[in-house]
Amino acid sequence: MERIGFIGLGIMGAPMAQNLIKAGYYLHVYDIDHDRTIAVASSGCSNASSAYHVARTSDIIITMVPDTPELEQVIWGENGIIDAVRPDSLFIDMSTIASSTAIRMHDALVAKKVQVLDAPVSGGQTGAEQATLSIMVGGSKQAFDRALPVLKVMGKNIVHIGGPGAGQMAKTCNQIIVALTIQGVAEALTLAKKAGIDAAKVREALLGGFAQSRILDVHGQRMLDNNYQPGFKTHLQRKDLNIALQTGNELAVPLPGSSQVAALLDALIARGDAELDHSALAKLMGEMSGID
């Protein structure tokens, strides 16, 4: 069984790493937050002192970090992996970054004779904990086949999209749909409340019709409960829409809906709600409508 190094142990990364441990893999784990590293290591693996150390001791390296700067630090920063990775190792980035950055990462590591995949995920904290994530993969078929047994431990719907960067492009598309659907659910439930009807019954009815969605199910209930403890934070959703808007600009694709939701996320962040779940768009809609 190949030795796995796991870098990035936040809301998503920690349960993903723990599922690998439960499956019998021996992990070397690292997070810039030492307490997170120790917490996951206590589940039955070793804690590494740096990303460099992870790369030196692992056959497969997995990263799950918040954004492009963090990934660049892991690869090219002080004690990064670029000079530590061993030939024939496999690097899997499961963060959400721009497709262009994924291609640059791929080229730099392939030059070190490393197999590389970009494999961002969808499913949130619940999907990470229950190992039901959807995983969108870009890279070579050979690298995908090697990674598949490991990916199956963390997710259910695993699709090889195409070459380098294709996984991240699919994730960008995913995040557009997620953001716009959350906004749609927030508007609908706010309208129901303002009209004086039972929003919970509206949601129940809609779940049986064409409007049914995972977001209406999970986030619709969050909105009814005013429960915005983060499964996926508002500032990360805004970061992902920024990637979408930049990509749209590069490819001359107008994204008016994404632009509008990005502005509403900016309003949430400006109010100090960056750490709330992205379903907090409903909180903003309620206050704008004078019902919260």
| E strands, 67-204, in order | 90-93, 115-118, 121-122, 133-139, 155-162
So what's the pLDDT on residue 44? 87
| Averaged pLDDT of the chain | 96
pLDDT at 24 exceeding the cut of 90: yes
Task: Look at residue 76 in the predicted model and tell me its pLDDT.
Answer: 96
Confidence of residue 43 (pLDDT cuts 50, 70, 90): confident
Q: What is the pLDDT of residue 292?
A: 65
Q: Is 81 helix (H, G, I), strand (E, B) or coil?
A: coil
Homologous superfamily (CATH) of 4-163 is NAD(P)-binding Rossmann-like Domain (3.40.50.720)
pLDDT (tens digit per residue) in 52-79: 999 999 999 999 999 999 999 999 999 9
| pLDDT tier for residue 15 given thresholds of 50, 70 and 90 | very high
Topology, domain 170-288: N-(1-d-carboxylethyl)-l-norvaline Dehydrogenase; domain 2 (1.10.1040)
Q: Give just the sign of the alpha carbon dihedral 196, 198, 203, 204.
A: negative
pLDDT of 46 over the 80 cut: yes
Asked whether residue 105 carries a pLDDT value surpassing 80, the answer given is: yes
Place of tokens 């990509």: 247
How distant, in Å, are the alpha carbons of 97, 105, 137, 259, 262 from that of 132? 21, 27, 15, 30, 28
pLDDT tens figures, 83-101: 999 999 999 999 999 898 9
pLDDT attached to residue 244: 96
Find the mean pLDDT for residues 197-202: 98
Q: What is the mean pLDDT of residues 259-266?
A: 98
Show which residues are catalytic: 171
pLDDT of 234-255, one tens digit each?
Answer: 999 999 999 999 999 999 999 9
3-class secondary structure, 85: coil
User: Mean of the pLDDT values across residues 258-262?
Assistant: 98
Taking the domains of the chain in order of start, what are their residue ranges?
Answer: 4-163, 170-288
Look at residues 240, 247, 26, 265 and name the one whose alpha carbon lies nearest to residue 124.
240
Query: What is the structure's pLDDT at 228?
Result: 97
| Residue 158: HSE in the Cβ half-sphere, 13 Å Cα cutoff | 18
Q: What distance in Å separates the CA atoms of residue 115 and residue 145, rounded to the nearest whole number?
A: 11
Structure tokens at 123: 């499913």
pLDDT per position as a tens digit, 114-172? 999 999 999 989 999 999 999 999 999 999 999 999 999 999 999 999 999 999 999 99
